[in-house]
Amino acid sequence: MQVETTPEIQSQEDTEVIPKRRAGRLGFLLLALLAAIVGASVGLLLVYSTDLPQISELEQYRPSSITELYDDHGREIGSFALQRRVIATYNEIPRNLRDAVISIEDKDFERHWGIDFWRLFGAAYRDVRSGGRVQGASTLTMQLSRNLFLSADKNWGRKVQEIMLAIQIERRFTKPQIFTMYANQIFLGSGVYGFEAGAEFYFSKHAKDLTLEEAALLAGLPKGPSSYSPVRFPERAVHRRNMVINAMLEDGKITAEEAARAKSAPLRLHLQNAPNSIAPYFVEEVRRYLENKYGAEEVHEGGLRVYTSLDLDEQKVANRAVLDGLAAYEHRHGWKGNLDNVLRAGQKISDYQNADWDQLIEPGSYVHAIVIATAPGVALVKLGKYTGQLRTADIAWTHAKDPASLLKPGDLVYVRVVEMPTQRGDLPGAAVHIALEQESGVQGALMAMENSTGDVKALVGGRDFDESKFDRATQALRQTGSSFKPYVYTAAVDEGAKPDDTILDAPVKFPTGAGVWSPHNYDNRFEGEITLRHALADSRNIPAVKLAQKVGMDRVIAYAHKFGITTRLEPYLPVALGAAEVTLQEQVSAYSTFPNDGVRVTPRFIRKVMDYDGHVLEENYPQVKDVVSVQTARTMTSLLETVVQHGTAARAGATLKHALGGKTGTANDFTDAWFIGFSPAITCGAWVGFDEKKSLGAKETGAQAALPIWEAYMQSEIAKNPGENFPGDMPSSPPVLKAQAASGHLLAGRDDGGRVHSIGLDRKKTP
C-alpha cells in the first residue's frame, strides 16, 4: 500500500533539513578557518623563529663587560668599554633594589612563565583602538629577550619573537638567573648598563650599599633612561622615583613610614668621575698596547683585568707637580690676556660646558671656567656646579689691581682651585676659593719608574689630555741639551778617565764640512783647568766636546745606543752637547742604569693581564740588560751626585737633602728644558717646552723650568725611603775639585791609592 505525502508534510521536512545543511557548511567553514589560522600561526612562528638564537646560545651568553685597569695597589685607574657594565651576581643585588624593579616593571614576575597574557591582550587592544604600535605589557623576561637579541623596533613581528624567546628563557633558567641577567643587561642612561654600574656611576657606591630612595631611582630608569635622567632632568627623576616607592608600598614591600621618608629625601647624586682622568696618558699607552695584542673587540667588550705598574698616589703628585711647574713658568712671563669669549662668538654663557667640569674638582685642581659677571674689585666665575670669586689677591702675579680690568663676562679663563667649601660643597652654586692662572701653550711631561723593576709609577704626557692626546713623555722627540752629556762621560770613564782628572776649559775650534765650529759655554766664560767632576756638575760645554773628540763620536753614539737610545744619531761633535732628539721615556730608562750598578731596566707598564674568566693571558717580568760595569756605573753615579750637590741642580740638593743624582739639559735657544735624575729607588725625568720648536724665553734652563717639577715629585718619593744611599756611597759628599788656572797650580784628583790622574789629553795640542 503506497502512502502519499501531502504537500504540507513535504514542506515541513525540507524546512528541517536546510538548517542542518547550513550548520554543517558553517562548521566546515569554521574548521577550515581555524585550520587556516593555526596553519598561518604555525607558519608565522616558523618564520619568526628562524632567526631566533638557540637555547645553547642563551646558555653561553656573556654580556659585554668593562675592561678594568688597576694600579699596583689594586685601585681602579681606568677602563675601556663600548658599554659601561659591571657584572653582579644575584646576591650582590640588594633586596630593596629587586623589590623596586619587580614592583614597577613586573609585579607577577615570580608567578608567570614569561608572559602576562592579561596585560598583553589589554595593551594590544588599546594599541589597536588607538591605531598605534604594540607597546607596553612586557614582562622582565620579555624585556630581557628584547635587550639581549632583538632590535628596538616596535612591531608585531618583533613582539612575537620577544614572546617566543621569553618562553625559551623561562623554560631554561630559574627566576634568580633571569633577574640577574636582566639586572646586568638593562640600559640606565649615560652609557651605563646594569644596576651595579648604575650604582657606581650615579652614587659612587656598590649596588649592595644603596639606600631605598637610591634603589628606587635606579629601578625607575629602564622605563626611559633619557627622559628620567637624574643628571639632565632631576625633577622628572624624583617624580619617577616616587612612583616606584608608591608601587613598593602598594605591594607591601615597604611600610608607609619608609615610603614617606624615602619620598621626602632630596636627590643626592655623587657622580663617579672617570678613573681615566687621573692618569689619561698612562691609560692611553696601555690601551694602544692591548689593542695591538688582543684586538679592539676583546679590549672594549671582553672584560679583561689589567694589573699595571702605576701608583695612583704618585700619579696625583706628578700631575700636581707638572701643573704647578707650568703655572710658575706662566707667572715668570707675565699676563698675556687674549682670552676667548663666548659672547663675542655669539654663544650664551648659560650654554657653555667644559670637559673639566665632569672631573673631580678638588684643592690643587686646574680648571677651565667662564666669567659670568664683573664688578669693581671682583669677577664672578663659574666652574661646573661651583662658583668662585676672583679678587685682587687672586690675580696678584699679573700685577693688575682689579680683576674687572682684566676680565669681562663671557671670558674663558684658567683657574687654580685653592680651597673647596667645607659644607654643602656638593650642591649647585657652592662657592670655591680660586686663583687666576694662564695657558700660553707651554707643555710639560714627567715620567717616573722604579729602578729595580722598571715599573712606571707615574706618567704625565702633557698639560691637558682633553685638549691634546699626544704623549710628550713617550712620543715626542726633543733635543736633549746637556742631559746627553752623561753618555759622553760614561764612554770616557770606561776608557780610564777618573772624576778628578783635569781638562782645560778654554776657547777651542773644530773644523767641519760647513766651516769652523767654535762651541761656547752657557755663561760665555772659561774656567781654565778643571776636574771632570766640576765640568759635568757645572755643565761646561767645551770639556764635554773635548772628551767626545778624544773618545770618538762613533764610540759615544754606540754608548748612547747601549743605554737604550733608539734615535739615529749622526757622529758629529754637536751631538755631544745634546743636538740629538730623544724621548723622555728613553732618557729615564737610560739614566736608571747608573743607580742600578750598570743594568738598564726596560720601562714596564703592565704586570699581568687576565681574561673575563680569570685566566692569566700574560704576566710580565722585569727586562734587564747589562750596559756598563759596576765600577763605571758607580763612578758616573758619583759624578751625577755632584750635579745635585754642588752643580746646576744644587737647589734640589739643598732642599731635599737625600742621596740624589741627575743632570740638567737645555737645548739651543731655550726650546727644551730637561732634568733627569734619580734616587737609589726611583728614576724620574721632567721636560718643559712648546709643541712647536719655540723658545721658552731667556734663562729658561733645565734648572729653571724642569728641575722644580722633578723636585716637587721627588719630595714624596724621598719621604717613603728616608736614609737610603747609593751602592758604594761614602759617608761624606765628595768635594768639587777645580783647577786654579790663575795661580798655575793644578789640583788633580787622586784615586784610593793616592795616585794623581789626568785624562790623557795632550795639552800642548789643545787650543
Catalytic residues: 105, 482
Pair 183, 194: CB distance under 8 Å: yes
CA angle 57, 58, 64 (to 5 degrees): 90
Q: What angle do CA 317, 318, 321 make, to 5 degrees?
A: 85
Output the DSSP codes for 450-504.
ETTT-BEEEEE-SS-TTT----TTTT--EE-GGGGHHHHHHHHHHTT--TT-EEE
> Which residues fall within 8 angstroms of residue 658, CB to CB, at 6 or more apart?
679, 714, 718, 724
Round to whole Å and give the CA distance between 329 and 695: 13
Nearest-angstrom CA–CA distance, 709 and 459: 13
Task: Transcribe 12-32 into DSSP letters.
Answer: HHHHHHHHHHHHHHHHHHHHH
Q: 3-class SS at 319?
A: helix
State how far Cα 130 lies from the chain centre.
50
Phi, psi angles (nearest 5°) of residue 598: 95, 0
Q: Which set of grid coordinates corresponds to residue 11?
A: 514542506
- The CB-based long-range contact list for 357-363 (8 Å cut-off, 24+ gap) reads 357/383, 357/384, 357/385, 358/271, 358/273, 358/274, 358/384, 359/273, 359/274, 359/277, 360/273, 360/277, 361/386, 361/417, 361/420, 361/432, 362/417, 362/420, 363/417, 363/418, 363/419, 363/420
Find out whether 601 and 622 touch, Cβ atoms under 8 Å: yes
CA 486/CA 536 separation, integer angstroms: 8
Please write down the HEC assignment for all residues of 462-477.
Answer: CCCCCCCCCCCCCCCC
DSSP 645: H
Element (H, E) at 529: strand 528-531
**Cα dist. 349→24, 331, 344, 352, 467 in Å?**
81, 28, 11, 5, 21
CA distance 672 to 664: 11
The number of helices, as runs of H, and strands, as runs of E, in the chain is 23, 25
Q: How far apart are CA 365 and CA 433, in angstroms?
A: 11
Identify which of 626, 230, 672 has the alpha carbon closest to the alpha carbon of residue 442. Answer: 672
Report the C-alpha gap between 102 and 696 in whole angstroms: 64
CA–CA separation, 309 and 319 (whole Å): 17
**DSSP letters along 736-765, please?**
--B-BTTTTB----B-TT--B------GGG
Classified as helix, coil or strand, 416 is strand
Determine which helix (DSSP H) or strand (DSSP E) holds 610, and give its type and residue range.
Answer: strand 606-610
Q: How many CB atoms lie within 10 A of CB 386?
A: 23
Write the DSSP symbol of residue 703: I
> Which is nearest to 93 in space by CA: 167, 182, 21?
182
Whole-number Å distance between alpha carbons of 474 and 286? 12
Cell of 740: 786654579
Cell numbers for 254, please give them. 615597604
